[in-house]
Structure 1
C-alpha cells in the first residue's frame, strides 16, 4: 500500500457504523446455524400431484437433526452442574448424534469421545476426527442387545476410567425429548396446521418431543412412527439391520409409545428406492430414515382425505450415505435392486404377529416391556 493511501486512511473521518451497509447477519458461532430449517413439498411419485406432504429438511442443520438434541442436552447438563467446565463427553452413536456432540464440544469447550461400531461409515469417522472428536469402536455385538448394547457397555467402561466425564444417554435422557420443542414451533409457523406427523423412531427423542408440542396446538393430530425391519422397538424380534439412523436392538425409554396412532416398518430396499426417487424427482435426499419416512408419508398423503395436511421429518442429508444408499455397486452387492417396493404396506393386527421383512403397518402400538406411559394416546384423524 502506498504511503499516500496510508496517510489518507489515517486522516479520514471514521464512517458511522451502518452508513454504507447494514450490519451483516453472520453467525458468530456454528451452533447458531442450527434450526430454522426449510420445508419442501413432496408429491410424485410418492403421491399424486396435489396430494403430497411437507418435508422438514433437518439435513440443513450443520450435522443433521441431532444437532438440536446434542446442544440442548449438553447445555442443560452444564446448567445443572452434571457436566463441569472442560470435562469429557462420552456417548454411544451410530453417527448423527456424534456429529452433533462434536459441535456441542466445540461450542462449550469439552473433549468428545464417540463410541460406535464397524457399521459407522468411514466418511463419518473422518468427519468426527476432523471436528476434534475421538472415535472408539466396539468389535463384537452384545448377544442380546446387538451393537447398541455393546456400545452402551463400552461407554460405561470409559466413564469409569475418565473421572468427571459425562454421558448424555440419548436413549433415556428427557432432555433429548425437550430439545425438539423449537422444531415443533417452526413447523407451526411454516405450515399453520398439521393433521398428520410422520417421524422415524430410533432413540424416540424427536418423535416424542415434536408430537408433544404440536398436540398442544393440534390435539387431534395423528402420529405415525417409522421403524426398520429387524428393530425391536415396537415388538418385533431384534435382528441384523442394514439401515442406520432408525430402529434399535434395545427399547429406549424416550419412545413415547402412547403417543403413536400407528407404526410402519420399512425394509432397506424400500428405503433405497425412496431415497433415489427423492433425489431424482425433488433434488432432496438423505439417508435410510429419510427414505423410509418419505415412503410412509406418501402413503399417508394418499390414504387420508384430500386437504389433510401431512408433515414429515427428514432427519439428515445424503453425504454420509454416498458409499451405501447412493452407490450402485454397494446396493447391488446387498441385493437392494432385486425387487421394487409395493406401493401399499401389508397390515398386521398385532405388532408381534409374525416377523416381518418388508413394508408393514400396524394400528396397535404398545411398549413391549409394559412400562407405564407418561404420554397418552390422543384420538386423531386415523380413528
Structure 2
C-alpha cells in the first residue's frame, strides 16, 4: 500500500536545504598567547544556527513515532540558541513554536524569536533548586497542560538531539584530512555526543575535550549563578556522553570575553560565551600538544551578544576585565577537589549522578 505524505499547513520544507553545510576556518589569533592554530566549524553561518540540526531531528523523530501530529504546537525551554533552531524547524515542518525563556534572555533574541512567529513566555524568578532552568521547566509543564496535543522535545534528555549532529560529523570528515583533538562546549551535551562517535570511527585515537562554564554542575561542580549563557547547566542532562570525554575545562566569563574580542579583532569570525570558551581551550590544546590537529565548533555568531560580551559597560558592571583573564588552566585531580572560579582543567571525568568513591 502506497501512502502520500500530507504537508502540514504552513510548512516550508524547502528551508531544510539551508540546514548545516557550514565552513571551517583556520584560527591563528593569539588566545591569549601564540599557538600553532586550530580549525573552527562556523555553525553561526547556518540558517537557524547549530541547534537547528537538533531541532529538526527532534521534531522529525517525534513525527515518525506519532508523538507529534501535523500542525501540533511544540513547547520547549530555552536560553536562546535552541529557540532560534526551533523557530527554523517549526517553519520548515509546519508547527507553531511556544518557548519558555527567562528574564535574562537578551532583548534582541526575544525580538528575533517573536519576529519568527514564536510565542515567547518569560519566567521572572529562578527556582531555589535548579535556577532558571528549573523555573522554565515548571512553566513549560503548565503550558503542556494548557495546549492539547502539544509536544515537548525535552532537549536535555532526547536522543534525537544527539542524532541531529550526525550531519555535522559528516561535514567535518569531508572537510578535514585528519583530527587529533576535538574541543566541544557542553550544555545539553547533544553536539559533543552526536559527533564524537562518527568521528572516532574515522580517527579512533581522537581525544574529546569538554568545555563547561564555572558554576555549572554538568561535570560535578556545585551549581552557582552563571553569567554565561549557552553552555553549562544547573541540572544534569542525560545526553552528556561522560565516557567519551578525555578531559574537561571550566572557563570563566572573563576568559570567554577576552577570547571573543580577540577573535573579532584578529580573525573577524567570533561569537558568544560558548565560542569564546571553546576557542580558548582549543588554542591551549594546539599549543600544548605540538603537531596535533585540533578542531572546535563555534556554535553561533556575535550578534546576540553585542549588549553583553562586546559591551564595555556590561563587562565593567560585572567586574569582567579581559586583561586579568587567565592564560592557562589550574589543574585539579577530580571535579570535587576544588570549586572552579576561573579556568580549571581536570582529566578525571565522572557522571555526577554516580560520584567518585570517597568524595562528597
The Cα of 1:49 is off from its aligned counterpart by 6.5
Does residue 122 (structure 1) correspond to residue 72 (structure 2)? The answer is no
Whether the 8 Å CA contact 1:46–1:52 is kept in 2: the answer is no
2:121 aligns with one of 136, 140, 160: 136
* Equivalent in the alignment of 1:182: 167
Q: What RMSD over aligned residues (CA atoms) do the two structures have, in Å? A: 1.5
Question: Within 5 A, what are the aligned runs for 1:27-46?
Answer: 29-46=14-31
Q: What is the CA–CA distance in structure 1 between the aligned matches of 2:19 and 2:130, rounded to whole Å?
A: 32
Tell me the TM-score normalised to structure 2 length. Answer: 0.93
Cα distance in 2, alignment partners of residues 50 and 268 from structure 1: 21
Which structure would you say has the larger Rg?
A: 1
- Partners of 1:119 and 1:71 lie apart in 2 by 26
Is contact 1:47–1:301 with CA below 8 Å preserved after alignment?
Answer: no
- Equivalences, count: 344
SS at match of 2:324: coil
Of 81, 106, 120, 1:96 maps to: 81
The 1-side partners of 2:33 and 2:278 are apart by 17
Residue deviations 1:214-257 (CA, integer Å, cap 9, x gap): 11111110000000000000011000100000000000000000
Moved over 4 A (4+): 47-50
Change (3 A) 1:161 1:243: same
* From 320, 342, 359, the counterpart of 1:358: 342
Task: Select which of 243, 247, 254 maps to 2:228.
Answer: 243
Alignment pair present for 1:74 and 2:74: no
| Distance in 2 between residues matched to 1:105 and 1:63, nearest whole Å | 11
1:230 aligns with 2:179: no
Q: What does 1:324-339 align with in structure 2 at a 5 Å threshold?
A: 324-337=308-321, 339=323
1:191 Cα offset (Å): 0.6
Q: What CA deviation, in whole Å up to 9, does each residue of 1:155-176 have, x standing for no partner?
A: 1111112110001110000000
How far residue 338 of structure 1 moved from its aligned partner, in angstroms, is 6.4
Q: Tell me, in whole angstroms, the C-alpha distance in 1 between the residues paired with 2:313 and 2:33.
A: 31
Q: Which runs of 5+ in 1 are unaligned?
A: 1-26, 372-383
- Once the 2 structures are TM-superposed, how far is the Cα of residue 354 of structure 1 from its aligned partner? 1.6
Q: Unpaired segments of 5 or more residues in structure 2?
A: 1-11, 356-360
Structure-2 residue corresponding to 1:55? 40
Task: Report the TM-score, using the length of structure 1 for normalisation.
Answer: 0.87
Alpha-carbon distance change, 28 to 152 in structure 1, aligned in 2, over 3 angstroms: closer
What is the CA–CA distance in structure 2 between the aligned matches of 1:129 and 1:305, rounded to whole Å? 47
